[in-house]
């Protein structure tokens, strides 16, 4: 089987050993004679999977003991809708920072439930930087931001200090670097970047900040209900949770989140150094805000794109075309991407610069 260097922004690359274990479990889960796809979510074997997955989230991120973990379906986009219901009082107010497409969607959902103030935005420069030095008002129910901008390639290097509960969408950089979980009322993330396949979303929350709004919620929208039911109020995304558990086990064996940060920093430096060194290419974001996860760049001469595309495809590189809304190129370097794949892309870029520069 040929080696493909997978830069997909999500669903994304996962470790080979995770694929192998997950594939075996599809045929026979732990010698049961049943597939992981058909076992009951109420069975003891799957309850053990869920318990372990929840524990690994807390262990890898160093969460306080009292924090709770919930796995749900619906993606982070469902979270956009759930968060104002669970954290904004009726007649209340929320503050948001807008750094791209997903933050924009979260803001739109919040506006359905109450006054939503955008306290910082980088929309004026096509989301090419992270806003800094802004104030978060003390009279809002919570402050929400998106830690990494998957589409435009920016990332918070310093998290905002807030006088109110902080909620963060970490879908595209969770487990990529250490964070102080105690600073957050809620961290949530779709699994399909650094944790597992599409279909599961993890919520890591301080239960002391939940249930304070006075809203009467549908049980399906109530995070406290899901936490109290140990993610089992309804059928959870069984396979996605299982593969997420396997991936977190791999991260732990590799040295945990601190080791992931070192790996990711080395990969990002290798690629960004090439972008800056080769005049034929140009990065599209503020240098100080460049994402370790999603490096975005363009060719200075767009007419050369077909020739460049042919070259990287010939090198078995996949998934580096930019998001359809922005064009150019985006190399997503999630935890499981080996540095050898980054070197393969850099080699192509250097060869192309030599022949077309």
pLDDT of residue 3: 84
Catalytic residue among 52, 58, 89, 102: 102
Does residue 7 contact residue 329 with C-beta atoms inside 8 Å? no
What's the mean pLDDT when you consider all of the chain?
A: 97
Tokens 């999500």 belong to 10
pLDDT of residue 213: 95
> 148: Cβ–Cβ under 8 A, 6 or more apart, which residues?
154, 155, 156, 170, 171, 172, 173, 176, 291, 293, 294
Q: Report how far apart, in Å, the C-alpha atoms of 269 and of each of 22, 141, 199, 278 are.
A: 32, 38, 31, 14
pLDDT of 24 higher than 70: yes
Q: How many percent of the chain have pLDDT more than 70?
A: 100
pLDDT band per the 50, 70, 90 thresholds, residue 267: very high
Q: How many percent of the chain have pLDDT more than 90?
A: 97
Average pLDDT in the 31-56 region? 96
pLDDT band per the 50, 70, 90 thresholds, residue 1: low
Q: Domains of the chain, with CATH numbers?
A: 16-253 (3.40.640.10), 256-356 (3.90.1150.10)
Tokens 């690359």 belong to 13
Query: Over the stretch 208-228, which tens digit does the pLDDT of each residue have?
Result: 999 899 999 999 999 999 999
- List 118's β-bridge partners, or say none: 96
pLDDT band per the 50, 70, 90 thresholds, residue 53: very high
Catalytic residue among 28, 93, 115, 169: 169
pLDDT of residue 323: 86
Active site residue 108: no
Phi-psi region at 214: left, alpha or beta (left = phi > 0; alpha = psi -120 to 50): left
pLDDT of 331 higher than 90: yes
pLDDT of residue 116: 98
Average pLDDT in the 131-150 region? 97
Pairing state of beta strands 281-283 and 201-205?
unpaired
pLDDT of residue 357: 73
Query: Over the stretch 268-312, which tens digit does the pLDDT of each residue have?
Result: 999 999 999 999 999 999 999 999 999 999 999 999 999 999 999
pLDDT band per the 50, 70, 90 thresholds, residue 146: very high
Active site residue 193: yes
Catalytic residue among 173, 193, 267, 289: 193
Active site residue 102: yes
pLDDT of 176 higher than 80: yes
């Amino acid at each position: 089987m040929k080696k493909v260097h997978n830069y997909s922004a999500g669903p994304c690359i996962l470790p080979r050993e995770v694929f192998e274990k997950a594939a075996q479990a599809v045929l026979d889960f732990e010698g049961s004679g049943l597939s992981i796809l058909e076992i009951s979510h109420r069975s003891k074997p799957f309850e053990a999977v869920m318990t372990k997955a929840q524990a690994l989230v807390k262990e890898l991120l160093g969460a306080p003991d009292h924090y709770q973990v919930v796995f749900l379906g619906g993606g982070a986009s469902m979270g956009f809708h759930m968060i104002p219901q669970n954290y904004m009082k009726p007649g209340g107010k929320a503050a948001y920072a807008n750094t791209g497409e997903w933050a924009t969607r979260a803001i739109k959902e919040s506006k359905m439930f109450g006054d939503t103030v955008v306290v910082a935005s980088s929309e004026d420069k096509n989301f090419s930087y992270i806003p800094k030095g802004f104030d978060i008002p003390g009279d809002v129910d919570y402050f929400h931001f998106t830690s990494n901008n998957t589409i435009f390639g920016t990332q918070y290097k310093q998290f905002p200090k807030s006088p109110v509960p902080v909620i963060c969408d970490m879908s595209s950089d969770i487990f990529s670097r250490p964070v102080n979980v105690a600073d957050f009322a809620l961290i949530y993330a779709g699994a399909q970047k650094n944790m597992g396949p599409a279909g599961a979303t993890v919520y890591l929350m301080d239960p002391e900040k939940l249930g304070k709004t006075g809203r009467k919620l549908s049980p399906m929208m109530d995070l406290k209900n899901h936490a109290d039911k140990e993610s089992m109020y309804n059928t959870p995304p069984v396979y996605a949770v299982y593969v997420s558990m396997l991936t977190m086990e791999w991260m732990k064996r590799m040295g945990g989140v601190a080791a992931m940060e070192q790996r990711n920093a080395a990969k990002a430096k290798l690629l960004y150094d090439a972008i800056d060194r080769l005049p034929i290419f140009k990065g599209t974001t503020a240098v100080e805000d460049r994402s370790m996860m999603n490096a975005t760049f363009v060719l200075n001469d767009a007419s050369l794109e077909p020739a460049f595309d042919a070259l990287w495809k010939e090198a078995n590189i996949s998934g580096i075309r930019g998001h359809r809304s922005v064009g150019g190129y985006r190399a997503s370097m999630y935890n499981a991407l080996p540095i050898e794949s980054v070197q393969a892309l850099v080699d192509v870029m250097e060869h192309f610069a030599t022949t077309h520069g």
